Amino acid sequence: MAARVEARGTLVRERDGSLAWRAEVALRDGAATTALARVEGVHGAIVLEGPPAHTPGPQLVAIGLADVGVPLREGLVEATLRPDGALAVKRARFAFAGGALESGAAVLDPDAGLDAVTLRARDLDLGELLALAALDGLSGAGRLDGELPIAREEGALRVRGGVLRAREPGGTIRYAPTDSVGAMAAARPYDLGLAVEAFSDFRYEQLEARVDGTLDAALTIALDVRGANPGFQNGRPVELHLNLEARLADLVRAGRASYRVPEAVEERLRAFSEGRTSP
């Protein structure tokens, strides 16, 4: 772990002769790597007490990047460090695909790691999700919600039974094939060609994606879409059942986007520097 740290505190000798301490710590640009995740851009003004080291209540920490196989950015985590060393997360929120992934209460045990947590997906952008697949010519628009139950299995984070659903009908999926796929479609007009034509300008009424797999390895996405293309067979209804297998982690580990510390955390750091009480 690496970080820029400023601290001030008090050391008190208790009546029984033991020592107790309390420290206010300003953490800037912290980074850490564990078996399950790589974390960067950690900022926070936190209060620690000990021994053993713990926080007297939930502390707010900003996280620029938590790479759990899929990069989660712009995180805001409210958590308590318990005397037993476990981190009790009260709530956490990360930006993802134009929306957010949020978690309720969860416990991260340093020995056991993360056992299980369900991330709620809010208002994800279908276009950004399709962009993760890095399939040339594929684009879309629409908003999705859902749940992604994540558990640690054999040393890796795994999604089991995750579901994302369209918020409302009226979204679009468009596929403009590359020359090579276009040639394949022309050679197979009765199957692939039909599919390509149907999705040249597809308007969905229902969309559901079931997600399973290991975050840093193969993910399987079973996509069920129902809708129509007004320019294809007079708008005849089309149902697509697509099984997509991809190593998303390899595809989405693009360069880190610029990151700004959230105002709530920045204010706590300013208060620390100026010797004020944190809000």
Partner 1 sequence: MKRGGGRARARLGNVGPSLARRGLGLLGLALLPLGLGACQPRVAVEAPKDPIVIHMNVKIEHEIKVQVDRELEQLFASEKDIF
- Taking the complex as a whole, the smallest distance from the CB of residue 102 to partner 1 amounts, in Å, to 28
Q: Which of 133, 151, 156, 271 touches partner 1 (CB under 8 A)? A: 133
131 binds partner 1 (CB under 8 A): no
> Which CB, 95 or 240, lies closer to partner 1?
240
The answer to the question of residue 217 lying near partner 1 (CB under 8 A) is: no
Query: Which residues, in sequence order, are CB contacts of 140 under 8 Å at separation 6+?
Result: 126, 127, 129, 130, 171, 172, 173, 174
Restricting to residues 142-201, name those near partner 1 by CB under 8 A: 181, 184, 188, 190-192, 194-195, 198
CB of 196 to partner 1, least distance (A): 10
Q: 194: burial class by Cβ within 10 Å (0-12, 13-18, 19+)?
A: middle
Token digits of residue 189: 């007009």
Nearest Cα to 133, choosing from 258, 249, 37? Answer: 249
Which position among 160, 167, 226, 270 is part of the footprint of partner 1 (CB under 8 A)?
A: 226
User: 270, 52 in Cβ contact below 8 A?
Assistant: no
183: region left, alpha or beta (phi > 0 left; psi from -120 to 50 alpha): alpha
Q: Per-residue contact track with partner 1, 109 to 128, x per CB under 8 A?
A: --------------------
Q: Which is nearer to partner 1, 33 or 206 (CB)?
A: 206
Smaller CB distance to partner 1: residue 161 or 235? 235
252 interacts with partner 1 by CB under 8 A? no
With contacts defined by CB under 8 A, how many residues of the chain interact with partner 1?
29
- 277 contacts partner 1 (rule: CB under 8 A): no
With 0-12 / 13-18 / 19 or more C-beta atoms within 10 angstroms meaning exposed / middle / buried, residue 48 is middle
| CB neighbour list of residue 9: distance below 8 Å, 6 or more residues apart | 21, 22, 23, 24, 48
The answer to whether residue 39 forms part of the interface with partner 1 (CB under 8 A) is no
In a 3-state reduction of DSSP, which class is residue 78?
strand
Residue 137 DSSP label: T
| Strand partners for 6 | 26
Q: How far is the CB of 247 from partner 1 (least distance, A)?
A: 8
Q: Which residues bind partner 1 (CB under 8 A)?
A: 133-135, 181, 184, 188, 190-192, 194-195, 198, 226, 233-247, 251
